[in-house]
Amino acid sequence: MTPAEKKELQLTAVKVREGILTATHGAKSGHPGGSLSAADMFTYLYFKEMRVDPKEPRKDDRDRFVLSKGHTAPGLYSALALKGYFPVDDLKNLRHTDSYLQGHPNMNTVPGIDMSTGSLGQGLSTAAGMAKGAKYLNKDINVYSLVGDGELAEGQIWEATMFAAHYKLDNLCIIVDKNGLQIDGWTKDVMNTDPVDEKFASFGCDVICINGHDFDDIEKAFEKFHSNHGSGKPTCIIMSTTKGKGVSYMENEAGWHGKAPNDDEYKQGMDELAAAKKAIEEA
């Protein structure tokens, strides 16, 4: 990645964060915390990693993405809108009665969504099914699925991981957003899912631990994923992140898991993001 590319990704990530605030503010509900922690990953996936074309959202041989932690739809929608799947201006209609932007991803109403999700634990299994299908059909398709660290308490995550390793789905990339927080508080207090790396390794994955807000780290992790093709091992990228990243009053606060910013909070957040954009541009 060139310095110019990196700068562009950083700027896009700030715009994704702006979209998250605009969408949840417009909805007066939704999940900003986990959307912000994954904003850099959404950005990298759609602007660098995945072979997708917003002009042909259902193209047969595209890479697939399944948002297993479906409540962070504002983050995904924001990235999709910026990529050109639908107008950025529509983000403010998130969760409105007449909007196609449903509270959780709907593959039949939102261009670019590869699978309807929202009920935790299920998305990874569906992604494994896609990866299995690609293998069976001899198609060069990568499947990516983002899961939350709180979501790892769902038993089905481990059924899916077992399936992926058993069927040697080295075209499947599991990404864990380890922001350490869930609705009821710190994940280590609610239901400890650590050691996450050892769990996925023991289930047969190649585990890579990274800083989820560092594009160099993210790039290296996906390079490893690509080099794992042919190994028969699914890849699991565990990214340490900060819930609410980029908006000072939301960072590391469980209360911002599923709460929208009011008008004052929205203005403050957008001001902070504008300053962040300016700093990146001037760097």
Partner 1 sequence: MAETTKIATRDSYGNALKELGATADNLVVLDADLAGATKTATFQKAFPERHFDCGIAEANMINVAAGLSTMGLVPFVATFAMFAAGRAYEQVRNTLGYPHLNVKIGATHGGISVGEDGASHQCCEDFALMRTIPGMTVMCPSDDVEAKAMIKAAYELDGPVYMRFGRAATPVFHEAGYKFEIGKGEVLHEGKDVAIIATGIMVPEAISACEQLEKDGVSVYLINMPTIKPLDNDLVLDAAKKCGRIVTVEEHSIIGGLGEAVAGYLSEVHPTPVKRIGVNDEFGHSGPAAELLEAFGLCADNIVKVTKGFI
Judged by the rule CB under 8 A, the positions of this chain that interact with partner 1 are 60, 64, 66, 106-108, 114-119, 121-123, 125-134, 136-137, 139, 156, 159-160, 162-163, 166-167
Nearest CB to partner 1, comparing residues 185 and 204: 204
Question: Shortest gap between Cβ of 153 and partner 1 (angstroms)?
Answer: 14
How many whole angstroms from its chain centre is CA 22?
18
Query: Cβ 179 to partner 1, closest distance in Å?
Result: 24
How near is the Cβ of 133 to partner 1 at its closest, in Å? Answer: 3
The three-point CA angle 80-83-86 to 5° equals: 60
Q: Return the SS3 of 185.
A: strand
Q: How far is the CB of 36 from partner 1 (least distance, A)?
A: 25
Beta strands 185-186; 172-178: pairing state: unpaired
Helix-then-strand count for the chain, H and E: 10, 7
Q: How is 68-89 classified by DSSP, letter by letter?
A: SSGGGHHHHHHHHHHHTSS-GG
> Please, which residue, 136 or 283, has the CB nearer to partner 1?
136
Q: Closer to partner 1 at the Cβ: 97 or 108? A: 108
Whichever of 17 and 64 has its CB closer to partner 1, that residue is 64
Nearest approach, Cβ of 269 to partner 1 (angstroms)? Answer: 32
CB of 129 to partner 1, least distance (A): 2
Two tokens, residue 48: 């660098």
Q: Is the CB of 81 or the CB of 172 nearer to partner 1? A: 172
Considering the complex, state which of residue 169 and residue 276 has its C-beta at the smaller distance from partner 1. 169
